[in-house]
Chains A and B, each alone.
Chain A
Amino acid sequence: MRKYAYHELSLLQYILLIHGTQIGIGVLTLPRELAEHAGTDGWLSMFFGWGVSVLVSLVITNMMKLHPDKTITDLLTLLLGKWLGKVASILMSVYCAIAAIVVVVNSAFIINVWVLSQTPGYIIFMLFAIPIYIIIQGGLRIIARYSELVFYLTLWMPLLLAAALKDANWLHFLPIIKEGWQPILSASIYTVLPFLGFELAYFVYPFLKKKQHASLGIVVANTLTLLVYLHVTIICFAFFSPDEIKQYTWPTLNLWKVIEYSFLERIDIIFLAFYLFILSTTVLTYMYFAVFCTTQVFGNRDHRKHLIVLLLLIFVCLWFYTPSFMDLKKMTDIWSIAGVGFAFVLPVLLFGPIWLLQRKAGGKKA
């Protein structure tokens, strides 16, 4: 019984879907956060974040392997019974919704600051809602294709970013490990949030066509993400002076501001507009799984209605209350905490019971 066969993903799509989800607002702020806590040694912290993420994603993958045709919501229902399972699924949905909302509201806010300073946030959100609806209504298959395409469509960005390297000063990195390992370790907490997104393996695993490569896939996805972050962080650190970088909220965008061509100036505006593509992959996946969970709970087949409700809800909220930059920070923190819970703690807690469940079921069959 293959419930999810229609939306089968190839391995590449699996990798790029997760990778696309991971790369989000983190790219814009990460260099500053690292510089604040570990100076120019911050790039070393990335490896810790990466290592932890890879470990946990492998735990998740192995957990999902025990029940290859079930998503986390099915598993929770199996484990906790019908009603508690539904509650757990709703919690999952809320988590995904929070993630999606944080990213989408942040994007609207950044657009507001950088490009359209007078346009109200809810109107910008409304604009975003058009492609969001068009893509999510097609289901996971379309989202995966989209993530794949966006990956290729945005390959020029890191290359162009390297144009800033002509003004780079590599002396900023020396000496490596200035103050010992302590600040580097403490800064690695900040690399956790940027790696969030791998926990969607909870949901995506059953859709994967070639399940034997799932572990490889998720490691590759995490590594790709690491490379992107390293690239951005190192260029930022080389370009900005270690003390200066702390002045910027979004150093990556400031980096683009400097690049100028004879036919094009102020690339930051164009970059930011195109960066919406990268942000969209994060929003789309989280939002899809938010409505995916609710459709599972309510036994509804059509996720589009749920999606419309969610979009309208966000729109109305933004209409009545425009979040300030402090609210955004708080929201992001909430997401981080929830993310640590869902992505790092949950798999460790669940692995045992699910393994037992598998053994019990296996015993029955035999």
Chain B
Amino acid sequence: MAMRGWLRRKKTSAKDRMSRRSESHYVREIHDQLPDNIAELQRIFTLTPDLVIRQFNSLQVEGQIALVYLRSLADKNSINNNVLRPLLNQREGADKSLFELLSVGKVFTVYNFQSVETEILQGSSVLFIEGRKEALVVETHGWPQRAIEDPQLEASLKGAHQGFVETDAQNIALIRRYIPNRELKIKEIWVGERGATKLSVMFLADVANPDVLQELEDRIKLIEVDTILNTGELEEYIEDNPYSPFPQLITSERPDTVASHLLQGKIAVIVDRSPSVLIGPASFPSFFQNVDDYSTRWLVATFIRMLRYLAFIVATFLPAIYIALISFNYEVIPLDLILSIGESREKVPFPPLLEALLMELTLEMLRESGIRLPAPIGQTVGIVGGIVIGQAVVQAGIVSNIMVIVVAFTAISSFIIPNYDMASAVRFIRFIMMLLAAMFGIVGIVVGLMALIGHLISLESLGVPYGSPLAPVRFSDWKDFIVRSPLWKMMDRPKGTRPIQEKRQGNNRLKGSEK
């Protein structure tokens, strides 16, 4: 029993630590004396050389004004033109209030230093006025931004060529352009103690299931961390089963993909400062879909879908099957094939498992090394891998040429899977299957498959079955599963996401008799 306690991770104590730190927060009211406020600010922002505190008098306002902002985050043009100029120069607008003078979109009042601190750190400017127990926040963000470019990871042939950027307002704009509808709601949640990250939970209020939304919100609210740097981090905090190799939420960098998922009744989380958007609840088949599917002919798209599932099976099991057949069950291979395999295996000094591991690991290394290299060098890696290793290894008699074929086929198959996370999961599972095959042959593979299926059907994404529409079987959702049936046939939204509004579209095709 003692050991049990010792081995268990101390979750409670971690929580204690977090809450103690949050006590240090400023929850102090704003003073009515300006110097006091400035002193307070200087106490909060020590060693902050980019903090600007500009004090001046204005004709329109009684008493001195202090303008506070962070030089690095605020847009200087906006401050000059829209805040300073009206307050300093304007003579005729004496009857206007301060609110009316500031020609900026968003101006609001805050009453405590905690909000002041947050706003300044977000790039807003804050106006303190002598004698008032409040401060005006003027939105003057202006930080370095990237232009909107083609998405890198999810390239598309026919889809839009806009990808998300690092500013959430921009990203929301990109999505809203697809769904200009008042039912598209956004809930803002702030996460992180230090670098408060704004999460915008986006959903179609009359489609998305409120229980799923609630579940997602509850999970986000449980997070207590310094900051969320990336969507991937958020995903790890809120996913259902952290021990699974499978991605349980979709990340996308394409606004059209997000819009399509929103229309299906899913929920998107836009993480500020991160160029990808998290979508949930996800199901296993959704990782095999792609925006292009819906803009190619449905027969072709269906064929490609099938190809992807086949690729999934091949990429997961092919090396394992090779190992099993070579070391256990060669009765299964037809005679002519077995003779040619036997001839090519004869020279190889390693057992099949080692041979396969060697080649698979080489492949993974090549792949990993290629990813982060600049394109010209990346090509060299491909040449080294393809020609030098592929050719030489066979000629040296280290690996049989059938194994090289198997590995190459596996690699190509794993590139066909459109989602990077899913492809990575497959790469990982492949090795487990190889081990099982090396230990038990075909029986090992089948038991591995059984465990894999068992795992997939017990997985859930935000409390919604991951295996849907396969397990539990929902035949109505099969229209967009292995087969991508014609769009006008998909009258209902997929039931897998439990939408509250099921009808997606009316009858868009006239029946033969109605023509």
CA distance A134 to B48 in the complex (A): 54
Contact of B467 among A131, A145, A152, A274 (CB under 8 A): A145
Assess the B331–A262 pair: CB atoms within 8 A.
no
Assess the B334–A134 pair: CB atoms within 8 A.
no
Assess the A269–B440 pair: CB atoms within 8 A.
no
Q: Does A263 contact B (CB under 8 A)?
A: yes
CA distance A318 to B132 in the complex (A): 82
Q: Does A227 contact B (CB under 8 A)?
A: no
The smallest C-beta distance from A121 to any residue of chain B, in angstroms, reads 13
Q: Does A337 contact B (CB under 8 A)?
A: no
With A127-B447, A273-B445 in contact, do A134 and B332 touch (Cβ < 8 Å)?
no
Residues of A near B335 (CB, < 8 A) are: 265
- B473 to chain A: closest residue by CB: A148
Assess the B442–A146 pair: CB atoms within 8 A.
no
Assess the A269–B450 pair: CB atoms within 8 A.
no
Stretch at the interface among A111-119, A234-242, A341-349: A111-119
The smallest C-beta distance from B433 to any residue of chain A, in angstroms, reads 13
Within B226-261, the residues touching A (CB, 8 Å) are: none
Within B316-351, the residues touching A (CB, 8 Å) are: 328-329, 331-335
With A263-B334, A266-B331, A269-B329 in contact, do A12 and B473 touch (Cβ < 8 Å)?
yes
Stretch at the interface among A24-32, A135-143, A161-169, A210-218: A135-143
B441-464: CB near A (< 8 Å → 1, else 0) gives: 111111100110111011000000
Assess the B454–A142 pair: CB atoms within 8 A.
yes
Assess the A145–B329 pair: CB atoms within 8 A.
no
Contact of B443 among A12, A135, A276 (CB under 8 A): A276
Residues of B near A266 (CB, < 8 A) are: 329, 331-332
Contact of B454 among A111, A127, A134 (CB under 8 A): A134
The smallest C-beta distance from A127 to any residue of chain B, in angstroms, reads 5
With A130-B447, A152-B473, A273-B442 in contact, do A142 and B333 touch (Cβ < 8 Å)?
no
Assess the A146–B457 pair: CB atoms within 8 A.
yes
Residues of B near A312 (CB, < 8 A) are: none
A245-270: CB near B (< 8 Å → 1, else 0) gives: 00000000000000001111111011
Contact of A276 among B328, B450, B458, B473 (CB under 8 A): B450
Residues of B near A144 (CB, < 8 A) are: 472
Assess the A265–B458 pair: CB atoms within 8 A.
no
The smallest C-beta distance from B330 to any residue of chain A, in angstroms, reads 9
Residues of A near B329 (CB, < 8 A) are: 115, 266, 269
CA distance A265 to B450 in the complex (A): 23
CA distance A274 to B443 in the complex (A): 8
Residues of B near A145 (CB, < 8 A) are: 457, 465, 467, 471-472
Assess the A265–B334 pair: CB atoms within 8 A.
yes
- A136 to chain B: closest residue by CB: B454
Assess the B332–A265 pair: CB atoms within 8 A.
yes
With A142-B457, A142-B458, A266-B331 in contact, do A10 and B446 touch (Cβ < 8 Å)?
no
With A142-B457, A266-B331 in contact, do A131 and B472 touch (Cβ < 8 Å)?
no
CA distance A137 to B472 in the complex (A): 17
Contact of B451 among A12, A130, A138 (CB under 8 A): A130
CA distance A140 to B164 in the complex (A): 42
CA distance A149 to B472 in the complex (A): 8
The smallest C-beta distance from A2 to any residue of chain B, in angstroms, reads 17
Assess the A277–B446 pair: CB atoms within 8 A.
yes
CA distance A134 to B456 in the complex (A): 10
CA distance A273 to B328 in the complex (A): 13
- A9 to chain B: closest residue by CB: B472
Contact of B440 among A116, A146, A263 (CB under 8 A): A116
CA distance A273 to B329 in the complex (A): 11
Residues of A near B440 (CB, < 8 A) are: 116, 119, 124, 127
Q: Does A222 contact B (CB under 8 A)?
A: no
Q: Does B470 contact A (CB under 8 A)?
A: yes
The smallest C-beta distance from A185 to any residue of chain B, in angstroms, reads 39
Assess the A134–B443 pair: CB atoms within 8 A.
no
Assess the A273–B331 pair: CB atoms within 8 A.
no
Q: What number of A-B contacts does a CB cutoff of 8 Å give?
A: 96
Assess the B446–A264 pair: CB atoms within 8 A.
no
Assess the B471–A146 pair: CB atoms within 8 A.
yes
With A127-B440, A134-B455 in contact, do A270 and B332 touch (Cβ < 8 Å)?
yes
Residues of B near A149 (CB, < 8 A) are: 453, 457, 467, 470-471, 473
Q: Does A106 contact B (CB under 8 A)?
A: no
Assess the A131–B471 pair: CB atoms within 8 A.
no
Q: Does A13 contact B (CB under 8 A)?
A: yes
Residues of A near B455 (CB, < 8 A) are: 134
Residues of A near B441 (CB, < 8 A) are: 115-116
- A280 to chain B: closest residue by CB: B450
CA distance A62 to B328 in the complex (A): 51
Assess the B458–A13 pair: CB atoms within 8 A.
no
Q: Does A128 contact B (CB under 8 A)?
A: yes
CA distance A153 to B473 in the complex (A): 12
Assess the B472–A13 pair: CB atoms within 8 A.
yes
The smallest C-beta distance from A145 to any residue of chain B, in angstroms, reads 4
The smallest C-beta distance from A107 to any residue of chain B, in angstroms, reads 10
The smallest C-beta distance from A117 to any residue of chain B, in angstroms, reads 11
CA distance A130 to B316 in the complex (A): 18
Residues of A near B451 (CB, < 8 A) are: 130-131, 134
Assess the B331–A265 pair: CB atoms within 8 A.
yes
The smallest C-beta distance from A128 to any residue of chain B, in angstroms, reads 7
With A130-B451, A264-B332 in contact, do A138 and B458 touch (Cβ < 8 Å)?
yes
Residues of B near A148 (CB, < 8 A) are: 471-473
Assess the B473–A115 pair: CB atoms within 8 A.
no
CA distance A148 to B454 in the complex (A): 12
Residues of B near A12 (CB, < 8 A) are: 473
Find the residue from A13, A153, A269 having the highest chain B CB count within 10 A.
Answer: A269
CA distance A145 to B465 in the complex (A): 10
Contact of B450 among A131, A138, A267 (CB under 8 A): A131
The smallest C-beta distance from B386 to any residue of chain A, in angstroms, reads 28
Residues of B near A262 (CB, < 8 A) are: 334
The smallest C-beta distance from B3 to any residue of chain A, in angstroms, reads 17
Assess the A137–B334 pair: CB atoms within 8 A.
no
Assess the B454–A146 pair: CB atoms within 8 A.
yes
CA distance A130 to B333 in the complex (A): 28
The smallest C-beta distance from A243 to any residue of chain B, in angstroms, reads 28
Within B99-123, the residues touching A (CB, 8 Å) are: none
Residues of A near B465 (CB, < 8 A) are: 145
Assess the A274–B446 pair: CB atoms within 8 A.
yes
Residues of A near B473 (CB, < 8 A) are: 12, 148-149, 152
Find the residue from A124, A134, A263 having the highest chain B CB count within 10 A.
Answer: A134
CA distance A283 to B474 in the complex (A): 25
The smallest C-beta distance from A358 to any residue of chain B, in angstroms, reads 32
The smallest C-beta distance from A10 to any residue of chain B, in angstroms, reads 7
Residues of A near B445 (CB, < 8 A) are: 273
A263-300: CB near B (< 8 Å → 1, else 0) gives: 11111011001101100100000000000000000000
Residues of B near A265 (CB, < 8 A) are: 331-335
Find the residue from B332, B333, B442, B457 having the highest chain A CB count within 10 A.
Answer: B457
- B446 to chain A: closest residue by CB: A273
CA distance A131 to B446 in the complex (A): 10
Residues of B near A128 (CB, < 8 A) are: 447
Listed A/B pairs (15) with beta-carbon separation below 8 Å:
A119-B440, A127-B436, A127-B443, A128-B447, A130-B451, A131-B447, A134-B454, A142-B454, A146-B471, A149-B471, A261-B334, A269-B329, A273-B446, A276-B443, A277-B446
6 more contacts with CB within 8 A, not counting A131-B447, A134-B454, A145-B467, are: A115-B328, A124-B443, A261-B334, A264-B334, A269-B329, A269-B332
B residues whose Cβ falls under 8 Å from a Cβ of A: 328-329, 331-335, 436, 439-447, 450-451, 453-455, 457-458, 465, 467, 470-473
Sort A-B residue pairs by CB-CB distance and give the 7 closest, nearest first.
A138-B458, A135-B454, A131-B450, A273-B446, A145-B471, A131-B451, A266-B331
A residues whose Cβ falls under 8 Å from a Cβ of B: 10, 12-13, 111, 115-116, 119, 124, 127-128, 130-131, 134-135, 137-138, 142, 144-146, 148-149, 152-153, 261-267, 269-270, 273-274, 276-277, 280
